Amino acid sequence: MRNLEARRAKWMRVRLGILVCLLGVGFTRLVGAAWDLQVRRAPVLREEAEQQYTRQVEFSPRRGTIYDRNHNPLAVSVVSPSLAAGPRRLGTIRNLDVGALASRLAEALSLPESDVRARLTSRRGFAWIKRHMTPPEAARVVAIMREFHIRNRDGLETIEESRRWYPNRELAAHVVGFVGADGRGQEGLERSLDENLRGRMVAVQGLRDARGALVFADGLTPAMGQAGDDVTLTLDATIQHIVERELALTCQLFEARSGSVIVTDPRTGEVLALANYPTFNPNELATSEVDARRNRAIADRFEPGSTMKIFSVGGALDASVIRPDQQIDCHSGTYTIGNLTIHDSHPEQMLTPMQVLERSSNIGAAQIGLSLGAEGLERVYRRFGFGERTGLPLPGEARARFGERRWYEVEVATVAFGQGMGVTSIQLAQGLGAVANGGRLVHPLLVSRVTDATGALVQENTPDPGRPAMQTGVARMLADMLTSVTEAHGTGTDAAIAGVRVAGKTGTAQKAREHAHGYDDQRWVSSFIGFAPAERPRLVVTVVIDEPQITHAGGAVAAPLFHNVMEQSLRYLGALPSAQRAMDFPQGPAAPTALAARRRDVRAHGDAGVACSVPDLSRLSLREARRALAAVGLDAAFGGAGVVVRQDPPAGSPCEPAQAVRAWAEPGGGYVPVATPAPASTEMPR
């Protein structure tokens, strides 16, 4: 610059200074931008970058299996394919007719075409088309993808997912419950034990390749998830099957609205079967009715009727306010207290406590309740577990409260024979178990143990030692009294089992009007609760039938169902005496059925004197034989199970209207049908 003119040199120095300043500013901004990217915004940018080439996937582990007491699976997890779409990737396929593809997929998967088209053309990166496809559906989808030259992950992808499967369909559906599409339990044990069954989810980091497909790094696999615990129940699948079959037949025969049956072991409180009708198939929830999923055995409260006389009489004996041989004035079948008149269907003057149970006397039970008083009667019922939940690990159990205010004298009288209070079926089963086991109130046991995926014990539930409900001697005496109900003059003769002493009680209760005061004479609850053998009880069976239409007496509707369940269950357990297997006919006169009584009325008004002959029942199932006899106006007294092998009187014999024909059956021909006894009486024991 020394050779330059001063003016020019000065200008060059100015330009050089400007250039240096500009370079300095640029360098400073470059350093600042680098610092901003590398330091300040580094975490955010790193996360955004990782989102482009990585994906975190949460794997649901295998859900635990639910077993019955004999390790038969009731709920298992299986792998099923699901179809997913990547609409943005699908849009990059040249010459693809998305409308035609949507039409074909909708037809193959039985889905609305508009829904499928909307999902395929959305701007989302991922959308489910159908979860848990059936094998035929999956095969059709694969064929369609080949037809449209779509490779897996090129916009359509089949993904294997874990699906809950119930191999026995409806069996124990109300106990086991079901899970939702998200794999979480919705009802039953699937819901209450969801935390155990679901296991622990694990998040796995994967890498996306150039086509966007997910690849696991370092050999990571979904198997890293911790599988759910396995649960073993006290249920016996065979007894459960017997109960569900017999309950469905009875409800259909009597056109009942619903029903429930519970079978328990009174010694341990173990629930061997719990069934409701109507029922549902948890594999096909979409086609089931919401009302059919209701677990009525634990959720429905009802007035029990005469079954509560067991606890009224037993409590009074235990408190020594009455004696076993005491004569109770039943006022010849009509008794007025306050503004209420109580009637007996079998009028009597004086009855002992055993006869009160045998004849199901409302007046006798009312007198016994009054002798206990309001506080005494409430105390008795609470000792048997009424008024509180049983603690069964199933959602929705009703408390069935009572005694929230002091009962007046009229209420004490009616509550003593089961009117004006609410109970649940499981409460009745628990209360009667205390009578059967000698006086201990044992809480029901449903879940026996929980084990993890390796078989290690996580939790074990032992039978409840129970608390005293009544004296052992009184419990045994009460059991002996209850056997009179199923004998010659009792209200539950259809519950009797040949060679086995059966203790039990019938119940027939009117239901309260829905939109008015008082009781509805068209709506009834029929019940029978009992245990056998009476001297050493093995099983307690609780039967409740809601709103039967053909007839409604507990001895006609519920007692035959009790007989079928108890007899078949004892036979399965090997607890029937050898005399029962000898094919002897049941003792005692055959009880006329309600249908036969109607036929007698018809004959009395026009067909009297019409001769008939006994039909040939050989090789018929008991159900077919009953229909054959009903067609000619004859009653039936059946024993055994299977097909008829002999009858009395023999085929072709002349007969009188409503005459009883005895028949005995045994399994044969590979076909073992179910006996469905007809109603036993037109009387209405309360």
Q: Indicate the Cα dihedral angle 89, 95, 99, 100, nearest 10°.
A: -120
Tell me the Ramachandran region of residue 428: left when phi exceeds 0, alpha when psi lies from -120 to 50, beta otherwise: alpha
Question: Could you tell me if 129 and 110 are in contact, meaning their C-beta atoms sit under 8 angstroms apart?
Answer: no
**CA pair distance 607, 612, nearest whole angstrom:** 11
Helix, strand, or coil (residue 634)? coil
Annotated active-site residue in 162, 260, 306, 361 = 306
Contact predicate 595/553, CB 8 Å: no
Go through 296-323 and write b for each residue having 16 or more CB atoms within 10 A of its CB, e for each that does not: bbbbbbbbbbbbbbbbbbbbbbbbeebe
Among 655, 598, 602, 662, which residue's Cα sits nearest to residue 626?
A: 662
367 burial (CB, 10 Å; 0-12 / 13-18 / 19+) is buried
Closest C-alpha to 407, from 369, 434, 441: 369
Nearest to 610 by CA among 620, 618, 600: 600
**Cis omega (within 30 of 0) on the bond before 615?**
no
Residue pair 684/362 in contact (Cβ under 8 Å)? The answer is: no
Alpha-carbon torsion (597, 601, 606, 609), positive or negative: positive
Residue 209 in tokens: 């390749």
Query: ∠ CA(181), CA(248), CA(589), 5° rounding?
Result: 160
Look up 122 and say whether it is catalytic: no
Query: Token pair for residue 542?
Result: 């609780």
The encoded tokens of residue 33 equal 């931008």
Separation between Cα atoms, residue 101 and residue 435, nearest integer Å:
68
Tokens of 547: 């709103």
CB 492 within 8 A of CB 504: yes
| Residue entry with tokens 């044992």 | 442
Q: Which residues are catalytic?
A: 306
